[in-house]
A and B are shown apart, each in its own frame.
Chain A
């Protein structure tokens, strides 16, 4: 096992690169690649710890990219958490500032519309991949799969704050129903 600093650096390089690939659906769509990198390639954590990190971040206040922070924490402690966070936030923020300074005109142009139309289906595919890779781990029991299906049904039909649903999930879990 390499040192925390070495892991943090490896994590930083990879996350900084993929941060620029979070298109349309946000950083959540990067989850499968992060999972591949930290679980399959480097064995820094298990699939279960990865999904736990994702879930804990979803239940916390703030931007939902913070699951990357927890992945960093799991992989390499404090320095890992910091490295993962900076890697996800700073490159896109720097690009945003550059775009503002250059007074880039947004989206209205023909080129902007073409880029958006071309990238939208890719971000949908990335989000479906995220859904798949989370469900694969979270739904290894029949009860888990049922709970996921019920959540989908509820969210598709009414507008509820997801935090209440996660609370219900915790309760169902503690009661041993899944």
Chain B
């Protein structure tokens, strides 16, 4: 990674090669039932000490600003620090390969046994819980938002456009994202 001066603590630490990165990220993703992020923290910061607490927080913030799956972006960033683009690819592949195979296995099982009465009942219960998990996540995100009229308005418009009117996301965000940026930008100019 020649173009980026690594922080001093990383320079001193060992650099992982692509196959080590692949194995490391495979390990944390397979432990990640119900969310990989807590395991990423446990393994990268607490167990292997590949990142300090602050570095982890900083890289995570960067991964969250970028669009797409946060945990994959984080893999790409950490892989890149250790072994450039090859490292990014190895870390990302490690994050995805094993869970991909597993979820395909579950999916094929669903296709075969999905019509069984007991499977349908189990899935109905699981789906009700899964919906509850997402409702709770949405409520927590809403709770953390600053209480301001324009935030409430943007939340309501995005929700109405996507959920109630079922308009294409491209259209909804195509209108609301520039509008929101304009409103928040003029505010900073005042």
Contacts and interface: CB of A to CB of B under 8 A. Distances in A.
A163 B129 CA distance: 10
A60 to B, nearest CB: 5
B170 A21 contact: yes
B124 A173 contact: yes
Interface string A51-63: 1111111111111
What is the predominant secondary structure among interface residues of chain B facing chain A? helix
Interface string A115-141: 111111111111111111111011101
What is the predominant secondary structure among interface residues of chain A facing chain B? helix
Given A112-B65, A122-B158, A129-B158, A169 B130 contact: yes
B156 to A, nearest CB: 7
Interface string A73-89: 11000100100010011
Contacts, number: 357
Q: Choose among B138, B142, B151 the residue with the greatest number of A CB atoms under 10 Å from its CB.
A: B138
Contacts of B32: 61-63
Given A58-B130, A166-B129, A144 B124 contact: yes
A128 B110 contact: no
Interface residues of B, number: 92
B33 A61 contact: yes
Given A106-B61, A122-B158, A173 B67 contact: no
A174 B123 CA distance: 9
Interface of A: 17-28, 30, 32-33, 36, 40, 49, 51-66, 69-70, 73-74, 78, 81, 85, 88-89, 91-93, 95-97, 99-101, 103, 106-107, 110, 112, 114-135, 137-139, 141, 143-145, 147-152, 155-156, 161-163, 165-166, 168-174, 176-178
14 contacts: A19-B67, A33-B169, A60-B102, A63-B71, A66-B100, A89-B96, A114-B181, A114-B184, A121-B150, A130-B138, A151-B135, A156-B136, A178-B124, A178-B128
